[in-house]
Amino acid sequence: MSRLAPLFAAACALAGLATTVHAAPATKPDEAIVTVLYDAFGKDAGTHKDWGYAALVEYGDTRILFDTGNDPEVFRRNVEARKVDLAKLDFVVMSHRHGDHMGGMDHLLAVNPKVKIYAPKEGFGVYGGDLPATFYRRDASLPAEQRYFDGAPPETLRFGSAWPKANIALVDKTIEVAPGVHLIALVSDKTGTLELRELSLALETTNGTVLVVGCSHPGLDRIVEAATTIDPRIQLIAGGFHLVVADDAAIGALATALDQRFKVKYLAPGHCTGEPAFAAFRKAFGERFLYAGLGSRIVAGATPRASAAVIDDADLRDYRAALALRGGDDHHDHDELAVH
C-alpha cells in the first residue's frame, strides 16, 4: 500500500492541476456590439425598411444573430448591405414565434443550414416541440384500433418544426449557452399574447449586462428583473420594448422604473417600442438614449455610443408607413395580431 501512495498522490496532484486550469473563469469582454439589420426606420440608404427586427450581436469573438426580420428578401438585402457574413455565426437566437422576427429564416438556412438556433420551447410550437405522452387522457375500454398508438404510446411525443432540417435547440428556462452569454426565458401573461414564450439575450461585460430583446411580450420590467440576477448592473438595453400601442401613463411608468428602480444606464430602443415611447425615453434618458435605427451600430462599452444621434422626421415617416402596412394603427393590446 505504501508503494502506491506516491502514485496516488501524484495522480491527485495532476487531477487538481487539470481542474484548476479548466475552472479558470473566462475574462468578460469590455463591450458588446449590436448592428441593427431589420427595422422600419433608419438612415442607411443601402438598406430597406420593413416592419420587423433582426440584429447581429458581437461579443468578444462570438457572433450571434438575433432574429431574422419579416421577409427573407429584405433580410438578404440588408445583411448584404451591412456586409454581414451569415456563414460565420456561432449561433442564432430566435426570440419568439411571430412572423416579423422569423420571416427571414429561409435565407439564413440557405446560407448557413447547420448553424445552431436557440428558440423558445412550446408544446406545439413552430420551432418544434415535445410533450410526455401522459398529456392526453386515456380510455382502456376502447379496442386497440381506436386508441392512440394502439394504447402503447412512446414516453415522449415529438412534434415537427416549420424548418425540419434546421439545427434547433429548444429552450424552456434561463440558461448560459456560452461563457457570459445567457438566454432569459419568460412567458407572457399579457392579454393577447398569453402564454407566448420569449427569449432575451443577456451578455455579461465588465461594465454590466448588455440586454437584447425582441418584443418584450412578457414585459420589459420582468425581463430586466431577471437580468439583474445575472448582474445587477444593466449597461444597455436594445431592441423592441412593445409599447407601440401603450398609453402615456404606461410608457412613463416603465421609463421611471428603468431609470430609477433598475438604474439602467443606456437605452437603444427600436422596432415595436413606438413613437411616443421613443420621445418619452429620449426625454427621460437624455444623452443615455441611443439611436438604434436600421443599419445602426451600437457599441456598448464603458460609454455606449451609436452611429447616429436622434430620430428625425424622415425616420418617423418611414416608421409610420411600415406600421400602417402592418395594420398596427387599428389593433390593440387584446389582439395578438397587433404589432409584434
The 3-state secondary structure of 180-197 reads CEEEEEEECCCCCCCCCE
Percent of the chain with pLDDT over 90: 79
Helices (H), the chain: 4-23, 72-81, 99-102, 105-111, 220-227, 248-256, 275-285, 313-325
| 3 state SS of 274 | coil
Tell me the per-residue pLDDT of 72-124, one tens digit each, with 9 for 90 and over. Answer: 999 999 999 999 999 999 999 999 999 999 999 999 999 999 999 999 999 89
Handedness of CA 327, 332, 338, 339 (dihedral sign): positive
Model pLDDT, residue 16: 40
Q: Which amino acid is at 163?
A: W
Handedness of CA 193, 260, 253, 327 (dihedral sign): negative
Provide CATH code, domain 30-136+155-330.
3.60.15.10
Residues 292, 41 contacting (CB under 8 angstroms): no
- 268 CB neighbour count, 10 Å cutoff: 26
Burial of 310 (0-12, 13-18, 19+ CB in 10 A): exposed
- Give CA–CA dist 165/167, Å, rounded: 7
Residues 282, 306 contacting (CB under 8 angstroms): no
The answer, yes or no, to whether residue 66 has pLDDT greater than 60, is yes
Residues 93, 114 contacting (CB under 8 angstroms): no
Tell me the per-residue pLDDT of 195-245, one tens digit each, with 9 for 90 and over. Answer: 999 999 999 999 999 999 999 999 999 999 999 999 999 999 999 999 999
Of 102, 153, 155, 159, the closest CA to residue 129 belongs to 159
- Give CA–CA dist 276/252, Å, rounded: 10
Model pLDDT, residue 3: 45
From 94-108, 191-205, 280-294, 319-333, the region with the lowest mean pLDDT? 319-333
Mean pLDDT score across all residues of the chain: 89
Tell me the per-residue pLDDT of 127-141, one tens digit each, with 9 for 90 and over. Answer: 999 999 999 999 999
